[in-house]
Amino acid sequence: MRRFPSIKKNSEFQKIYKNGASYANKLLIMYVKAGEKPDTRIGISVSRKVGNSVVRHRVTRMIREIFRLHKEETDSGLDIIVVARQAARDSDYKKLEGAYLHLCGLHNIRKELK
């Protein structure tokens, strides 16, 4: 089983925060930077302000699944950080998916579907 392509080190997060482009909507903030590796990686940050541990992990799992399902639709070789806002706590999967795809469109990282 392959490992999930994630960003884990604080130094990698800081590089992307500092040098990456960011866009936001009501539910999410997305930072994108061209990565050194050929695979697209994702880092997910959910603050304690969003909720307790159960809520934060639920939001994280939904964002990870959205990324996994739409990975083929996004450009490769990118490092993406998704930061969940407080409004994400009360959102369902479809709203989070719409917010994620909206930010991908703003960053121009979605491939044109044929």
pTM: 0.91
Q: Which of 59, 68, 69, 67 is nearest to 93 (CA)?
A: 59
The lowest-confidence range among 20-29, 35-44, 46-55, 90-99 is 35-44
Q: In the prediction, which pLDDT does 78 show?
A: 93
Q: How far apart are CA 50 and CA 39, in angstroms?
A: 29
With cut-offs at 50, 70 and 90, classify the pLDDT of residue 4: confident
Q: Residue 41 — pLDDT band, cuts 50, 70, 90?
A: very high
CA distance 76 to 40: 5
What's the CATH number for 10-106?
3.30.230.10
What pLDDT is attached to residue 89?
94
| Cβ atoms of residues 40 and 75 within 8 Å | yes
Instruction: List the domain boundaries for the chain.
Output: 10-106
